[in-house]
Amino acid sequence: MFEATETFAKKLDEQDSLSKFKNEFYIKDNQIYMDGNSLGLMSKRAEEKLLNVMNAWKEFGIDGWTSGDHPWFYLSENLGEKVAKLVGAKPEEVVVTGSTTTNLHQLVATFFKPEGKRTKILADELNFPSDIYALKSQLKLHGLDPDEHLIRVKSRDGRTIHEDDIIEAMTDEVALIVLPTVLYRSGQLLDLKRVTQAANEKGIPIGWDGCHSVGAIPHDFHKIGADFAYWCHYKYMNNGPGGVAGLFVHEKHFGVEPGLSGWFGSDKQKQFDMEHDFTPADTAGAFQIGTPHVLSVAPLIGSLELFEEAGMDRLREKSLKATAYLMYLVEELLSDYNFTIGNPREDAHRGGHVCLEHKEAASICKALKDHGIIPDFRSPNVIRLAPVAFYVSFQDVYQTVLTIKKIMDDESYKTYKNERGIIA
């Protein structure tokens, strides 16, 4: 299927219907950016829309809340309608708001109702630390000991989580389930439909952390019956550092009062009545807490234009092909250097990045950066490489593996300390 030659990589690029989008992004000369699963690159559209919103502030002042191309008062809901298409939700089920951890706190505060012997939260031991911190703190707020009431499904191999083990852990003591769609280290994509269906059958509310999948993988949160989901927009969605996040709440929960009420979660027709009794919106907008971070959400307006033009299915198709090509090249060209591919091989279980394991991973990442390749290191031994469909070409993938081979051949990676920097 593949060939380990530059000619073949060029052929793949010639066949790539998404190749034109690379010109939409700011990419440094002589640099290959393989870290879009941590922070996506800035697009020209994102920059344009940010300047547009800033100009509205300059031109309209406070009237920018209801005037201009993108009135701020309705911005979170309007963008939610557009993001809903990417995550398989109804327009009213998604709102762009908060940060991922703030949204998780909001959703757990709403859906975690410990009662009787149902007092436990089910998660997994490979999840991103921030989620675990939030779950532990929510348990403490209920006077529950996290050591006893937070269940973390064990990994059989240190890389992946078996869905069978998750379902087995859904006992009658579990009051809430929170899991990642894609594991941040290994890139494993869980079977969301199967796990959600099992939770629904047992009457346990379930929510998904989509940080490492939204923008790279099509979802169908409404159809599979997820109770809620939350995600960031600064990775595959290219909304910029600290960009405003998003959340989904299934329409079956509309009317449930949020665990954490805030002014911007009000029914918009009553918000400025200034009453001290909270009247929540009858959509996912009810789960907003604070005023929209307008300047931090503005780049998403431009980014979403690109998603509409490219199409989520085409982006996923290219992502799968690029990660498959990357794995092929690793096996063909790096077989002598003790690399292990730590992510699932099957398309149905693979996210948007490739997980390379090596005992000298930190050193190799530093060497790659000095050769113009931007990877991502995760302790203790993982090199994450994300060939993001918008701006990474197949020739970029080929050159990345060639560069790894070069620094392994000449052992130049040994000149770097094998320890992470402050930010890895």
Q: What is the pLDDT of residue 70?
A: 95
Quote the CA–CA distance of 237 and 308 in Å, as a whole number: 12
**Rounded to whole angstroms, what are the CA distances from 390 to 131, 235, 335?**
28, 12, 29
Across the beta sheet with 228-231, the strand order is 94-96, 246-249, 228-231, 206-209, 174-180, 120-124, 150-153
Q: Compare 282 and 1 and report the one with higher pLDDT.
A: 282
Q: What is the mean pLDDT of residues 261-278?
A: 92
CA distance 404 to 311: 32
Binding site annotation covers 100?
yes
pLDDT at 185 over 80: yes
CA distance 324 to 329: 9
Any known ligand binding at 171?
no
Q: What's at 390, amino acid-wise?
A: F
Mind listing the pLDDT tens digit for each residue in 315-341?
999 999 999 999 999 999 999 999 999
Find out whether 377 is annotated in a ligand binding site.
Answer: no
Q: What is the pLDDT of residues 127-142, one digit of tens each?
A: 999 999 999 999 999 9
Q: Alpha helix locations (H) across 150-251?
A: 163-168, 192-201, 221-224
101 in a known ligand binding site: yes
- What pLDDT sits at residue 336? 97
Cα(66)–Cα(197) distance, integer angstroms = 42
- Residue closest to 356 by CA, chosen among 373, 370, 343, 337: 343
**Which of 264-268, 306-310, 334-338, 349-353 shows the lowest per-residue confidence on average (mean pLDDT)?**
264-268
Determine phi and psi for 229, rounding to 5 degrees: -155, 160
Answer yes or no: is 209 a known binding residue: yes
Q: Is 263 annotated as a binding residue?
A: yes
Of the candidate CATH numbers 3.40.50.300, 1.10.10.10, 3.40.640.10, 3.90.1300.10, the domain formed by 48-308 belongs to 3.40.640.10
Rg over alpha carbons for the chain, rounded to the nearest Å, is: 22
Other CB atoms within a 10 A radius of the CB of residue 194 amount to 14
Q: What percentage of residues in the chain have a pLDDT greater than 90?
A: 97
Does 129 carry a binding-site annotation?
yes
In percent, the amount of the chain with pLDDT more than 70 equals 100
Asked if residue 421 has pLDDT above 90, the reply is: no
Average pLDDT estimate for 204-208: 98
Q: Which residue has the tokens 């996923």?
A: 316
Q: pLDDT tens-digit profile of 23-64? A: 999 999 999 999 999 999 999 999 999 999 999 999 999 999
**Residue holding tokens 């989520």?**
312
Burial label for 78, CB within 10 Å (0-12, 13-18, 19+), is middle
Predicted confidence (pLDDT) at residue 420 exceeds the cutoff of 90: no
Residue 361 DSSP code:
H
Task: Share the mean pLDDT of the chain.
Answer: 97
The predicted-structure confidence for 78-128, as pLDDT tens digits, reads as follows 999 999 999 999 999 999 999 999 999 999 999 999 999 999 999 999 999
Read off the pLDDT of each residue in 260-286 and give the average, rounded to a whole number. Answer: 94
Q: Is the domain 6-30+312-415 a CATH 3.90.1150.10 member?
A: yes
Examine the pLDDT at 155 and tell me if it is beyond 80: yes
Would the pLDDT of 241 be above 90?
A: yes
Predicted pLDDT of residue 16:
98
pTM, rounded to two decimals:
0.96
Does the annotation flag 38 for ligand binding? no
In this predicted structure, the answer to whether residue 424 has a pLDDT above a threshold of 80 is: no
- Distance, CA of 248 to CA of 243 (rounded, Å): 17
Domain coordinates in residue numbering, the chain = 6-30+312-415, 48-308
Do the annotations mark residue 212 as ligand-binding? Answer: yes
65 annotated as ligand-binding: no
Q: Which residues contact 334 (CB under 8 A, 6 or more apart)?
A: 401, 404, 405, 408
Q: What is the pLDDT of residue 112?
A: 98
